[in-house]
Amino acid sequence: MAVPAPPRFSTMTGWPNYPAVTLQFDVTMNPAMLEGLRSGSLDLALMIHTGSAIDLLARPLGTVPFAWMAAADYVLPDRVVTMDDLRRLPIIYQSADSFMNQFMSSVLYPEGGSRRSGTSCNSLAARVSLMIAGLGVSLMPLMVLETTPRPGSLRLVPTDLPHVDVSYDAVCARATLVPALLTLMEMAVEASTFTPSLTGQATGTGPR
């Protein structure tokens, strides 16, 4: 599996419920997960929705709200921040081959032709650290505001698009599909605390 495992899912699939089953967890980027599923080195991935593929079977886990964030003392315009404003700021991206990097670019440059400014790193924790250090802004899960080790060190950027809902799926390869994998996928869906999604895609939404 390739996933930062939700605690409830780990509990549901662990001993004593399934004493003869051992799950090995890994955390990696979407492209590596897709490659692992297709090569057979991964059985199941809990990952950002990346579209449909005939060789993969997916079950929606729901959506997670993402919003633009910056350090609490980061200097921003004293008004609603527009996409034009954001494009002028240093952006902290995820690694170049990640889906989130592509998604952030599509939000900033919906017509294509993006010009990157800022920096990139491989983990969410590293992006949080770079933001706290005042090196730029980034599109992050809203839950980061509650889970950061330094409460109050981050703030929401008041944009004209308050947040975007990013969909996640449980995915396996059809070529390696067995009943046990279907059971694991359904358990992942049951364990998910994400907001139920009907669309299976990332969308921008207004205030809630």
**Segment 85-137, tens digit of pLDDT:** 999 999 999 877 788 888 888 888 888 766 666 788 878 889 999 999 999 99
Sequence ranges of the chain with CATH classification 3.40.190.10: 7-62+167-202, 64-164
Q: Strand, coil or helix: what is 201?
A: coil
Q: H/E element holding 48?
A: strand 45-48
Q: Which CATH architecture has domain 64-164?
A: 3-Layer(aba) Sandwich (3.40)
**59 contacts 52 by C-beta, under 8 angstroms:** no
Q: For the domain 7-62+167-202, what is the CATH superfamily, name and number?
A: Periplasmic binding protein-like II (3.40.190.10)
Q: What is the pLDDT of residue 202?
A: 44
Give pLDDT tens digits for 156-204.
Answer: 999 988 788 999 999 999 998 889 889 889 989 988 888 886 544 444 4
Burial 165-197 (b: 16+ CB within 10 A, else e): bbbbbbbbbeeeeeeebeebbebbbebbebeeb
Maximal C-alpha separation, the chain: 58
Q: H/E element holding 139?
A: strand 138-141
